[in-house]
Each structure stands twice: as structure tokens, then as C-alpha cells.
Chains A and B, each alone.
Chain A
Amino acid sequence: MDYNFHWRPVFRSLPDLLNAGLVTLEVATLSMVFGVIIGIVFAIIRLKMRGPIRWFVISWIELARNTPALFQLFFFGFGLGAFGIHLTPFWIVLAGLTFNNAGYLAENFRGGFQAIPETQMRAARSLGMNASQAYVRVIIPQVLRTVYHPMTNQMVWAVLMSSLGMLVGFRELSGETQFLASKTFRIFEYFAVAAVIYYVIVKIIIGGSRLLSFRLFRY
């Protein structure tokens, strides 16, 4: 083994990497926020509605779940180019992740809605709430409780999937790492540090969600 590790250039650019880590968190969080909203709406549509809207929703969900995330990113990156729509790398990653998250979360939410007894809805309605009030104040809070852990997992997946941004030219943590590594050719060192940052981000998300669950779910 006659390879000398050079960690100094990596540590010199550590601030850049940490900033890129923030970009990763930002895009993952945004995609989760949009994904949760779309996921809830889709779950309700899939459970309650009939007709073409339901078929659109089902095909979105099944496409998101049964094709690679990278394929979805490429589709938003190059596929839409066929229709003259050219997104910037940030929007490619955000759109791809949101598409994917929405599909997986919709299925989680569907399970969550099915776990709520019918009587909850009837009780809420008989208290004089209208349908949307009953959903917002009674049903959805309970659903959020049952899908809390799957949602945490999905957030971790969103962070990990955002690394695909590297392949469409987005400068989040992986993209920035590749950019810096290609300037110095210290590929292994740079990616090792990036791996550590990803690990820390994931652990912070899981730990934070556990702390938050103590605060949220106490009686």
C-alpha cells in the first residue's frame, strides 16, 4: 500500500461541505413538506373518490414506488426537455424528490386513514363540525401520529436520495463533494468526509424526531 492520504485539502474545504450539507437538508425538507401535503390529499382521493382523478393519483403513486428514484430525476431533468421544459438542477432534484416522497407517503397515509375508526368521523360530525373541520381537527392529527415513524424514515430516505443531485449537476453535499474532489483528485478522502456528514445528518434527524415524539405524543 503506497497511497498517501491527504486530508488537509478536505479539512480546508470543510466549511464548503457543511454549507452544502445545509443545502441537502433544505431540499430534503422542502420535498418532505410538499410530499406530506400531496400525500395526504392523494390518500384521501384514493380512498374516497372515483373516476379519472383517482386513476391519475394511483398511477402517480405506482410510478413513484416502482421505478428507480434516479429514473424519476432523469425524467424531470431530460425527459421534460422533450416538451421544451428545462428545469434548473435545484428544481429537478426538488421535483424528483417530491414526486417520490408523495408516492410513498400517500401509501403510508392511506394505511393511517384506514386505521382510524369510522366512529371518529361520525362523532366529530355529530358535534357540529363540517367535513373539512373534522378532517383537520380530528382525523389528520391522529393519522399523523400513526405515520410518524414511517415519515421519519421517509425523511431519512429523502436526505439519502438527494445525493442523486450529483448526477444532474446540483451542488448539494454530494455534488459539492464531487466538484471539490475533481479539483484535487482526493476523491476517496472527500467522499469519506461526505459520508461522515451524511451519517451525522441522518443521526440528527432520527434523534430529533425521537425527542420531538416525546414532546408531541405525551398524554
Chain B
Amino acid sequence: MESTSIFFTSFKTTDLWFLAEAAYRTLLISGISISLGTVLGLIFGWLLHEGRLISTFILSPFLDIFRSVPLIIQLVLAYNFAPIIGLNIDPFGSGAIVLTIYTTALVANVVRGGIDSVGIPMRRAARSLGMTYWQDMIYVVSPIGIRAVFPAWVGVALGVMKDSALVSVLGYVELLRASQILITRTQEPFLILALAGAFYFALSFPIARFSERLEKRWSQ
């Protein structure tokens, strides 16, 4: 018994700080990927809507790959491909890159749906009022399109936040990985997993509820 007590120690308050720091890392990597992915997704979504040939034959199938292959496989592939072409990227970097591309692929589709949801007569009316293409985009398409797909975008963002847990396979210590480390040391799986789950839930549930309410209000 003497020897095991060195390896297994009970859950202490300092471990809460360890978990909090890991939660910060989860927020960091998902925040970076969601914001970058949203910007790129806006551009690619617009391309999907506008560029007919390019989007149907190149862009659309390419983005489709990222939605048809498990994220965990994408992460392992990217992490192991970087050294092959001579790059040396740490787990955070490759995780952020893969999550960004993944977000881009999902957001591009949402944005395309948003632009498509604005009726052609509406856009013709805008143009015939003398608006330029970009004025039409900014003053007519974006207010209507954003209302139509904002809840879908929230869903994507929350999904990426939850999927960021998978970056742990590369060795990046985010919340779920940190809880695994603590479980190995303290042998208290239930308590620690409940803490980690509560954090994800506390972040995701209010935002999901808020977007649901917004969707209801906008549809009236």
C-alpha cells in the first residue's frame, strides 16, 4: 500500500486550477478556429454561390471531403503529413489548422444556404434601384441571409467547440485530456468527468438555448 500511495493521490484544489487552465486551452483553440474558419467560410460560401464551374467541380467536392472523413483521421493525417513536407508544427498548430479547415467547410455551406435563401426577385429589385453588386450584398442579402442561417452557424460553432476535444489525440492538453490525466492520478473518474462535462454543458447549453429563442423570435 505504501508504494501505490505515491502514484495515486486524492483530488486537490490545485487540480481545479489545472482543469481551469485546460478549459482555457479548449476555449483558445476553438475560438481561433471558429473565428478564422468563419472568415474563410464567408469567402468560400460566396464562391460556392457565385462561381458556377469552379464550385461544382473543384470547390464543392473538396470541401465535401472534410465533412465525409472523421475529424480524428484528419487530425492524425495532418499531424503526420507536416513532417513529410519538412514542416515542424506542434500539436496546437496542426490542431488549429485542421479545425479551421473543418470549420471553413461547414461554414461555407451555411453561408451558401444563407445567400441562396434571399430570393432572386428581391435581388433584382435591389439592383434595379441602382445598387451596385456589393451594395446589394451588404444592404439586402446580408441582413436577410444572416437571419436565415444564424442558428445554423451557432450550431456549427458549438459543434467545433465540442469537437476540439479530439485535438487531445495529438497530445494537446485541453479539457478532456486534462481530465484523463487527473483520472489516471486520482482514480476518481466520475467526479472529474462530471466536472469536465459540466464545463462543456455550461458553455454550450445557454448559447444553444439563446440561438433557439432568437430563431423563434425572427421567424415570427
A residues whose Cβ falls under 8 Å from a Cβ of B:
1, 3, 62-63, 65-71, 74-75, 78-79, 81-83, 156, 160-161, 163-164, 166-167, 174, 177, 187-188, 191-192, 194-195, 198-199, 202-203
Q: Does B130 contact A (CB under 8 A)?
A: no
A202, B68: Cβ atoms closer than 8 Å:
yes
The answer on a CB contact under 8 Å between A78 and B73 is no
B residues in contact (CB < 8 Å) with A: 65, 68-74, 76-77, 80-81, 83-86, 158, 162-163, 165-166, 168-169, 176, 179-180, 183, 188-190, 193-194, 196-197, 200-201, 204-205, 208
Chain A: which residue is nearest B84 at the CB level?
A3
Beta-carbon contact of A66 and B200 below 8 Å? yes
Residue of A67, A174, A194, A199 with highest tally of chain B CB at under 10 A: A67
Q: Are A63 and B201 within 8 A (Cβ)?
A: yes
Whole-angstrom CA separation of A103 from B189 in the bound complex:
23
Whole-angstrom distance between the alpha carbons of A63 and B74 in the complex?
26
Cα A194 to Cα B77 in complex, Å, equals 10
Tell me which residues across on chain A come within 8 A of B204, comparing CB atoms: 65-67
Once bound together, how far apart are the Cα atoms of A219 and B80, in whole Å? 51
B73 close to A195 (CB less than 8 A): yes
Q: In the bound complex, how far is the Cα of B163 from the Cα of A160, in angstroms? A: 12
**Do residues A71 and B85 form an inter-chain contact, with CB atoms below 8 A?**
no
Q: Which residues on B sit within 8 Å (CB–CB) of A188?
A: 77, 80-81, 84
Cβ contact within 8 Å between B72 and A164: yes
Cross-chain contact B70 with A160 (CB below 8 angstroms): yes
| A70-B165, A79-B189 given; 15 more Cβ-contact pairs under 8 Å | A66-B158, A66-B200, A66-B204, A66-B208, A67-B197, A67-B201, A68-B166, A68-B176, A68-B200, A71-B165, A71-B197, A75-B193, A78-B180, A82-B190, A188-B84
Question: Whole-angstrom distance between the alpha carbons of A63 and B162 in the complex?
Answer: 12
Shortest CB distance A17–B (Å) = 12
Q: What would 21 A/B residue contacts be, using CB atoms closer than 8 Å? A: A1-B85, A66-B158, A66-B162, A66-B200, A67-B200, A68-B162, A68-B200, A69-B162, A71-B165, A78-B180, A79-B190, A82-B188, A82-B190, A160-B69, A160-B71, A164-B72, A188-B81, A195-B69, A195-B73, A199-B69, A202-B68
Please state if B193 and A78 are interface contacts (CB–CB under 8 Å).
yes
Bound CA span A185–B81, Å:
13
Inside 8 A of A160's CB, which chain B residues have their CB?
68-71
Q: How far is the CB of A154 from chain B (nearest CB, A)?
A: 13
A84 to chain B, nearest CB (A): 11
Whether A163 contacts B84 in the complex (CB less than 8 A), given A67-B200, A71-B200, comes out as no
A residues in contact with B194, CB < 8 Å = 79
